[in-house]
Amino acid sequence: MNKNEIENIEIELFLNAIYKRYGYDFRNYAQATVKRRIRNILMQFSYNSVSELIPKLLYDKLFFKSIILNFSVTVSEMFRDPFFYKSLRENVIPYLKTYPFVKIWVAGCATGQEVYSLAILLKEENFYDRTTIFATDFNDIALKKAEEGIYSLKEIDSFEKNYILSGGKRKFTDYYFTKYDSAKFDDSLKSRITFANHNLASDSVFGEMNLILCRNVLIYFNRELQNKVLNLYKESLSNNGFLCLGIKESLTFSEVKDKFEVIDETNKIFQYKK
């Protein structure tokens, strides 16, 4: 048995230990993602092998919390892929406006940039007050940052460029104020948002939604978990509800593909048909 095969056994034991001890299930994350995350942990804590991590994991809850941070993907930006938001504005919001009230789920919201982008868009379309938005992630630290709505000023220029390309209708500066080296987004943007912990790998259906955004999350899962999560979205959508995925994500391989009509293939917007 070579070194790589032994490492694979160690990783399997490590992921099982996380699941059995804490209930977090990373066993069906993409193998390349898992190996990259674990190697980062080994370097961070100066361990030589994965098996050395397991006793520490089992008995040290603080150590586990640091592992969660390593497995959580918090890379995001406001109006990321701006032409997606332009398409959402043009192809989805007019349809949703025919309802008196809608529920929206932003799954894997990380540190909140996407959900604030959505709130701005809905305000500009005079539709925000008729929505309830659920923003979820399994990382409580990321959720806390999302709820605060405070980001580095270094990011604002790229946020503003994306906002303009997305079809923004106002000055981006209308939505935040600056203090020291940070920008805090206006509290009115979260008046319809509920932030909550939810784990896509292990938790169940999350209400009945008219719109679900889960962009650039599935790429970190293997095919089995992608199918499981897409079924979760199907069960969480009302008839004619919309599902939005990341630009590099797809329904074509999945068990649920025949349940969705393509609204915008380029920007990965689909509509659920029961």
The predicted model scores a pTM of 0.88
Residue of 264, 272, 271, 232 lying closest to 81 (CA atoms): 264
pLDDT score for 1: 75
Backbone angles phi, psi at 257, to 5 degrees: -55, -35
- What confidence category does residue 141 fall into, taking pLDDT thresholds of 50, 70 and 90? confident
Domains recognised in the chain with CATH numbers: 3-71 (no CATH), 82-272 (3.40.50.150)
| Two structure tokens written together for 116 | 């604030």
Taking only the tens place, the pLDDT of each residue in 171-229 is 999 999 998 899 999 999 999 999 999 988 888 777 899 999 999 999 889 899 999 99
- What confidence category does residue 75 fall into, taking pLDDT thresholds of 50, 70 and 90? low
Instruction: Give the largest Cα separation in the chain, rounded.
Output: 63
Q: What is the DSSP string of 120-186?
A: HHHHHTT-GGGEEEEEEES-HHHHHHHHHTEEEHHHHHHHHHHHHHTT--S-GGGGEEEETTEEEE-
Residue of 149, 154, 152, 153 lying closest to 189 (CA atoms): 149
